[in-house]
Structures are given as structure tokens and as C-alpha cells.
A and B are shown apart, each in its own frame.
Chain A
Amino acid sequence: MFTLADDAPGTTQLLMGNEAIARGALEAGVRVAAAYPGTPSTEVIESLARVAKRAGIYVEWSTNEKVAVEVVAGASFAGLRAITAMKHEGMNVAMDFLAHLNLTGIRGGLVVVVADDPGAWSSPSENDSRAIASWLRVPLLEPASPQEALTMTRWAYDFSEEFRTWVMLRSCTRVSHASGNVVVGELPKTSPIARFDTSRDFLAAPAVQKHAARLAQLPALQAALESSPFITYEGPPRPDLLVVASGVARLYAAEALAILGLQKSVGILHVGVTWPLPRKAIEEHLARAEQVLVLEEVDPFLEGNLRDLAGEVGWLTPKRSILGKRTGHIEAYGELTPQAVLRALALLLKVEFQPRSAEYEQKAQRYAQRYVVNRGIVWCPGCPHRGSLWAVKQAIRLDGRDGFVTGDIGCYAMDRGLGGYQMTKTGSVMGAGTGIASGLGKLAPFGFNQPVVAVAGDSTFYHACIPALINARYNKSNFTLLVLDNSATAMTGFQPHPGVGKTAQGDEAPVVDIEALCRGLGIPVQVFDPFDLDKTIPALVESLQKQAGVRVFIMRRPCVLLRPRDAKPPFRVWVDPERCLGDACGCGRYCIRIFKCPGLTWDATAGKTKVDEALCAGCGLCTAICPANAIQKEAVYA
């Protein structure tokens, strides 16, 4: 079985896009990698962590993206090649430092991978990170496939060192998470010595001079990109339409042309270097056609720059046009799909095309309804968040002043899903729940009397809640913060964090104790088991009613998915059919309709609730909520 640390030059391996990026970094001699997990970027660092010891590199999960960039910048300043990877939202966190790192310069090659999430499959926002590259004047690469991801990453390091700049490698979900055949290259045999040369510095100041120098360097940088291997053309010499595509859009274009049989009349220009645009190379290809369609993920970034360039070189005349998202031929939101490309091409070239018959659509719906369980977004059976948010709901309703939850990013955000309790009313970025609560908690003089509960996961707490919590303590804000400590960065796949006693490389690590940290801030802190509703609900009510500054509740219970597969559940849980009165109870199927654990299902034949033994995790929480005490549990001894 091939691993990324195996030196097998010239062999073809099946790699995921993110693994290919990692391999490219290894082939370039990267020594240090750091990141905070974030879908769809996580596997870049995760796969490096897996081979760190064999490859002789250092890999860490940092507390947040800004710290991660600082960590890899440190390595670069000491002359080592380094890599960091983040999702688009992580880039916002890292921005403060990145927006200075373009002025300080670097020494060892430094690649910043940003994996955007068009369609926001795993994100609360849908941003295009590429504008940041043009804003900060750093070169931008966009791979289309796993092979190109490897090649581009490897290539970026020499370029980075030559121009003393970090390089942005922009991926997106379909590149990062697609797997493909990749021909791997050679791994370096030697490792440089890390040393910070104190005869030079890495200061952003004097900013104006550094800014001027940055701009002065651009023509040379742009010229160097002219000869990069990442501008390629495929198609007839004089196409009816020139498709200019970046990233995965190139593959969609090729697929669409094959389906429509248009390969002979339409050409595809793949632009892998999207900022700054290599002027001569693009100009040469523009000359082939009168009409251009630009395909790219999220914003019309390439489209706009291409229009500028086309105007500057005199290509753009009233007879010629550049089409794309600005002209409405492609939607400027959501994920680009082969279907959307097919539709745009068929329209432009007046080709008859029906993406799929209406009958097919109906059939798909029918089958889906028959075979797919009708279930919305829901916490897993046994999830500790269900207990925590249930307690919050009960406490807020008992208090009766229309309290609410300021949410955060993590599995607990599923409170907003069909399987949640809809108590969460704000949610955007990590740490924001605590900061927003800090603000709301100061509004009493303006008549505000609603209790506020902020929630944050343990990993989120380390990532971004601490400054907000200090702010709340310092400014005497009034709210309750629930740290939902499930001992995991669960949503991105169980990466270790400062609370779990392990590093990214699997070594033992000191545990950063949230409780001690809060105590150190002078904040009252209590630890609860989220399944102990008898304790948590009254304690929460008391906290909501106390107008006494910020309080922290640590709701501690490991994520149910951390339980080994062969481990027995804590309880055997069943519904006593004698006690469950079904619809005669008057509870309105409380356990299913209100509590909503998927481990409980309605037995239509018996007219009662039953435990779905395939799903039930045996946590026993539901036994506390049945008004008829029909749900029973019995401890299971291993």
C-alpha cells in the first residue's frame, strides 16, 4: 500500500486532490506543515501528519488558522519550506497576518492552500478567496485535477523563493475531494538546516516602501508566469467559441463539449495561473476567437481580470464579447456543475440539448421517496449535544423571557436542523457566539431582559472564544457560555486539539484545561454531564436568572462516535409497550416529535414508539423525557 512518504518516482497512484497537494509539498521538500481543520481542506495536513515521522517533517494542528500561518511563516523565516491549508473561512481568520506577510517577505518557500466550498456544502458562507490574492499581490494558482494539484504545489516552491512571496494555491471541494490517477515524482534526499539569519529581518514596516517594492516586483513576477506550464489550449486553431476555464471548470467544459459533440468548433483555454494573468500567453490565445465564455467557481474573478486584459491589449471591440457570470450565462452563486456548463454552451451555440428528461426527474423522486429515510439534519443517536441543547431549551422555556442561543460552528449548529430544537438564533463564524453574547449581555440599560446562552465546542473554544470570553469578563457582560466539550473536533473528522492530550503526529501532549483557564480568568465555571438533565436544567435556569456576569458551563461527554465499534453501549434501551400509550397518551408522540432522537421510531402497527436497535446508541437520555416512563433502560456490563 502506497503512502505519501514512499519514494516511488514515476509510478501512478490513486490520490485524493488534497493528498496530491500534500505529496507535491513533500516532493518540494516541505519540512513544516500546520493548519486548523476545515472542510474541504483538512486532508492536506491530515495526510502529512500521517507520514510525518517517516518523512521527517513536523506537522501540527494549530489552535486556529492565523496561528497556523504564523507557525509556517516561522519555519519559512528560518529557511524551511512550509505549507498551510485552510478553508475559505479559515483564510478570513488568517487574513490579519497574511495581509502583512506579503510585505515582510519570506525565505523558505511557502504555499498557502485555500480550499473554497462553492455551494457551501460544509460551510456557513460561500466566499471566493481569490480576490485576496489580487488584493495582497500574491501569485494565485488553481489546479483542475489531483495530478495538477501535485504538479502545481511542487512547482510553487521555487517560484515562492525566487520572488520571496507566499503563493496561494486555490482549490475547491471537487478538486480537493476528488480522487484520480497521479504520477508521483521523487522525494528529496536531503534536508536543510533551520536557521534564522539575524542579519536580515521580516518586518512589514516601513509599509509604504515595502508596498512600493511589492508593486515594483510585479512585472517580473508576471513575466515569470508566462513560461509556467499552467496555461494550455485544447481545440481547433480558430474556434467558434473560446472557453476560458480555471480549476475544475476545465473538466466540466471538456465533458460538456464531448456530450454536445462540439470539440471541433469550441476550444478550451485552461488558465491555471489566475493572478497575475500572464499577459502574453493569454493575448495569444484570445486572438483565436471572437467570443469567449469564462468558466470558474464562485465569483467572476477570472472573467473580470480577463476583461481588463482584453481591453488593455485591444482585443475587446464591439463585435467581440466576454461572457460568463457577469453576463448571466452562468449563475454567480452556488457550485458550478457540468449541467450548468452544458446549458450555457447549448444556449450560446444554439444546440438542442435536454439535460435530462422530465420523466427521469419524476422517477428519481419516486425512488428516492421509496428507499430513502425521510430524515432531516439531525444529531447522531447518543450525541451529547442533544442533551445539552435539550437542557438549554427546557431552561429557556421555564425561564419564560424568550431567551435564545448565540451559536457557533460545530455539530451543535445542527440545532437549526429538523432534528434540532431551533434555539440557536445566530451562527456564522467560530467564536462569534461568545462575542455576540458579550454584546447582548450589556444591553440591560436599553431594556434588554432576554437571557442569552452562547454555545461553543471544545475545539472552537480554543480556536476563537478566549478573547471574547476575556472581553465579557473584563466588560462585565452577562450571559452563560456552554462549552460543549465532546473531546473532539467532530465535524471535520476527529482531529486532536489542545484538550485531548495528543498531537497531530500522535504524540502525547499536555491537556489545556478549559476549566482551569476559565477559573484563571476569574469566571465561575461548572462541569456537567449533558445527559444529567436533573442537574443541568435547574443549574441553567439559575444561571439564566442570575444577572451576575459571565458564567461558563462545561458540558463534558465524549462524542458518541469516539466509542470503539466493538464497545458495548452503556445501556440497553427499550419501550415498554404496556406503558407507552401511543396516541392515547396525549403526549403527542413527544419522544419522536419533540425530542427527535433518530433511535426512536413510530411503530405504526402497534401504534406505539419503539427503539430502533440498529440506530440506538444506548445513551439512555430518552428515558428521562417520556411522560409515561415508558422508555426503560438497563445498564449493560461489558
Chain B
Amino acid sequence: MATANGHGLQSLRQEVLEAGLCTYCGACSGLCPYLRPFQGRIAVLDPCPVVQGRCYSFCPRTGLDMDALTQALHGTGYDGSPLGPVRRVLMARSRDPEVLAHAQYGGVVTTLVCLALDEGLVQGAVLTRSQGGIPQGVVATRREEVLQCAGSHYLASPTLEALNRLSPRTVPVAVVGTPCQMLALAKMRLSPLAQRSNIGKVSLTIGLFCTWALSHKFLEMLSTVASPERVRKTDVPPPPARVFEVHTEAGVVALPLDAVRAYIPPACTLCADMTAEMADLSVGSAEGVPGWNTVLVRTPRGETLVERAVARGLLAVDALPQANLEHLTESAQVKKRRALQNLAQRSGRPTDFLYLRLSREVAGRLLGTP
């Protein structure tokens, strides 16, 4: 099972926090007074005596049994396919001008979350909102609040802390998050401590494509070109641009992408999931098709929601160009291979991937060394 008995904060500290494995997803936070996300780091405030800790159990960087997680959510074993279990691939775009005005690309996530709230499928949504340049988890219950959360943040955000702190009255909820956050939710579901989490309240998960996040130290670089409060949007346009765009009212500043990449935390280089395989549906950009999103529908629940949005006239859908799908697949595959290589290098053993537990066969396939 993905959760080992007898592991608490001390183990989390040794295996994750001090080992540089933490993705700052927030799954361990908001549960106790010992851990607090702060400036891009999970701060350990005091030694905790709890032998079997939720922090360790929910963490996506401890004992991640991919087979068990995939089986539980998708009813199939983990085969290491680049995009994970997918029912349907499509391209979509919101039909709501207000949403599009706030959106990073096609506004699909915002539209779907608003729909879920409007139709009473959920009472709230755990989203990420940037305040003063610092993203953190919030629970949105109204359309205006959802719109405030639209757009990509690039800075790692401990969004799941907001789920852990959820008011007992807000049931059920949607969660929008990065692949590591979706993995954490999947782990929560299977944890023997699941009863003492809010995972039972989560009825919809929307994953975001993610190649990497940036550490909070990036704010220092960002503030050399714009005050973080005044940044309206940040974006990495598709190759060959090799820039990181910072949009402010005064215009767009392009930072060299290589300089920005220096702020990628080492933990992100150990991630094998680009497309949030543990979500009901995953959303990302549609490279080369401005104003559209790529959508991977993974579960019946995700499929129902998309269909309903289309039926209500909220979403326009189209087929994803084959070249896009191929490129996405290749990128996701490369991310998996690099992650495994990096993990094996860290562990010093070719088949030891630290937190990531894979069958020998899948690992061999991913590494190209059967």
C-alpha cells in the first residue's frame, strides 16, 4: 500500500523536506500546528510525536505506488503510458467572453468549475489565487471568486492546505491542481487515515498540465522587471520562443527562459507526471492554437461534466490536431524518462526511484532499458 505505518513528521522531514523532494503541494499542511507552508518551503515549527502522520501518508513524495493509485481511480494498472488513462482527447474553448478575458488560454477550467458550482455539483472549489505575487489555496464558492483564480501562476502553490482547512459545511468540492496535487489526492483516498482528511468531500478533480513550477526565489528575479502585485499574467509561449513572458499594464517583458529555469526547484525534476494522470480530467494549453485548451478526459465523471458544458453552450470543442497530440505525448514521455533517470541517480541504484514505486517492467519501458 502507498502508505506505510509508523511514519510521521520525522520521516517526512528526512525523506522529503530535507531531501529536496517536496513539491510544495500543501497536502501535509493545514492539518496540524507543526507544519506551515511559508515562502515556498514547508516550515517545520516543532517536533511532532505522532507516529503515523497524515503529513507523511498524504505526501505525493513518499511511497507512491503507481499501480495501486491508478487501479483505484481508473480501474486499470499503471502501464507508464505517456498521458495516462485517457477516455477522450479534445481541444476546447470557453464561449464566455468574461471568462476568456481572465483566462490563461481557453478558459476551460474556469468554465467547468463555474458550471459545477452553478449546477450544484459542488458547493465550493479549491483553487489557487495569487495575492501580492504569492499563490495560495482558496475555496471559491461564487463565480467572481473563481474568476479571480483564473490564469497560471508558475510559482509552486500549497493549494491543498485549503482543502485540509475546509469548513465542515462546504461539501462537496472540486479541486483544481497540478499533477503532484492530483497524486496527493489519489494518495489521500487510499490512505488508512483517509477518514481524517477531507478527501471524502472531493467530488471532482481537474488537473493542470505542468512541466515545472518555480520556487519563490523567482520573485526576486521577477521584481527586477515588475512589482509582483502588478503582474497580470505570466506565460511560456511555445518553442522556439525560449522566453518567459511577464504581462503588466505597461506591456510585456520577456525574460530569457534559461535564466528563469534556474529557479525550478530540484523536486520538479523528479516528477514523472506532466498531464495530471490522477484527475477526472486534465487541461493544458493547445500549443500553436491560441485561445484554446487541450483537454484529456479521464473518467466518466470528467466526461459528463464536459458534455454538460458543451450541451449548455458554454464550451466550444474541436479535435486536437494530431501534431499537437504527438508533441504532447513525446513531452510527457520525456518527462517520465528524465524523472526516472534523475531519481535513479539520486538513489545511486538503477532500479530505486526513491518515492516512486513502479513495476520493473514499466520502469524498464520508461527508461528505454527493457
Contacts and interface: CB of A to CB of B under 8 A. Distances in A.
B360 interface: no
B233 interface: no
Given A398-B38, A400-B38, A586 B32 contact: yes
B49 A397 contact: no
Most buried by A among B44, B49, B196: B49
Nearest to A585: B32
A593 B31 contact: no
Contact of B49 (A393, A394, A400, A588): A588
B46 interface: yes
B32 A627 contact: yes
Contacts of A594: 33, 46
B33 A627 contact: yes
A587 interface: yes
A409 to B, nearest CB: 26
A397 B49 CA distance: 18
A309 to B, nearest CB: 58
A393 B46 CA distance: 9
Given A394-B45, A398-B43, A590 B33 contact: yes
B45 A397 contact: yes
Interface string A599-626: 0000000000000000000000000010
Contacts of A588: 32, 34, 48-50
Interface in B26-77: 31-34, 36, 38-39, 41, 43-46, 48-50, 53-54
A588 B9 CA distance: 11
Most buried by A among B39, B46, B50: B46
Given A586-B54, A588-B50, A398 B33 contact: no
Interface SS of chain B? loop
Given A587-B33, A627-B32, A627-B33, A398 B54 contact: no
B39 to A, nearest CB: 8
Size bracket, chain A contacts: 10 to 19
A237 B50 CA distance: 72
Contacts of B41: 400
Contact of B196 (A393, A398, A586): A586
A73 B294 CA distance: 88
A586 B32 CA distance: 7
A384 B246 CA distance: 47
Nearest to A626: B33
Nearest to B53: A586
Nearest to A421: B46
Contacts of B54: 586
Nearest to A394: B45
B192 to A, nearest CB: 14
Contacts of A398: 36, 38-39, 43, 45
A548 to B, nearest CB: 16
Nearest to A625: B33
A358 to B, nearest CB: 36
Contacts, number: 40
B32 A400 contact: no
Interface in A554-590: 586-590
Interface in A374-402: 393-394, 397-400
B28 to A, nearest CB: 12
A400 B50 contact: no
Contacts of B34: 588, 590
Nearest to A628: B33
Contacts of B53: 586
A393 B34 CA distance: 12
B166 to A, nearest CB: 15
Contacts of B33: 587, 590, 594, 625, 627
Contacts of B48: 588
Nearest to B42: A400
A175 B227 CA distance: 68
Nearest to A591: B33
B51 to A, nearest CB: 10
B194 to A, nearest CB: 14
A590 B196 CA distance: 18
Contacts of A587: 32-33
B140 to A, nearest CB: 24
A626 to B, nearest CB: 8
A627 B34 CA distance: 10
A589 B33 CA distance: 10
Nearest to B17: A400
B46 A397 contact: yes
Contacts of B49: 588-589, 593
A393 B33 CA distance: 13
A587 B32 CA distance: 6
A535 B331 CA distance: 47
A393 B36 CA distance: 13
Contacts of B46: 393, 397, 590, 594
B119 to A, nearest CB: 34
Most buried by A among B33, B44, B48, B49: B33
Contacts of B44: 397
A627 B29 CA distance: 12
A589 B36 CA distance: 18
A394 B44 CA distance: 9
A394 B36 CA distance: 10
B18 to A, nearest CB: 11
Contacts of B36: 398
B220 to A, nearest CB: 12
Most buried by B among A393, A398, A588: A588
A160 B168 CA distance: 80
A205 B290 CA distance: 90
A399 B40 CA distance: 11
Contacts of A589: 49
A590 B45 CA distance: 11
A590 B9 CA distance: 14
A586 B38 contact: no
A397 B48 CA distance: 14
A398 B36 CA distance: 8
Interface in A185-213: none
Nearest to A397: B45
Contacts of B39: 398
Interface in B161-207: 196
A586 B45 contact: no
A400 B45 CA distance: 9
Nearest to B37: A398
Contacts of B50: 586, 588
B31 A400 contact: no
A394 B53 CA distance: 21
28 contacts: A393-B46, A394-B45, A397-B44, A398-B36, A398-B38, A398-B45, A399-B43, A400-B38, A400-B41, A586-B31, A586-B32, A586-B50, A586-B53, A586-B54, A586-B196, A588-B32, A588-B34, A588-B48, A588-B49, A588-B50, A590-B32, A590-B33, A590-B46, A594-B33, A594-B46, A625-B33, A627-B32, A627-B33
Given A586-B50, A594-B46, A627-B32, 7 more contacts: A397-B44, A398-B39, A400-B43, A586-B196, A587-B33, A588-B34, A588-B50
Closest 4 CB pairs of A and B: A588-B49, A627-B33, A397-B45, A398-B38
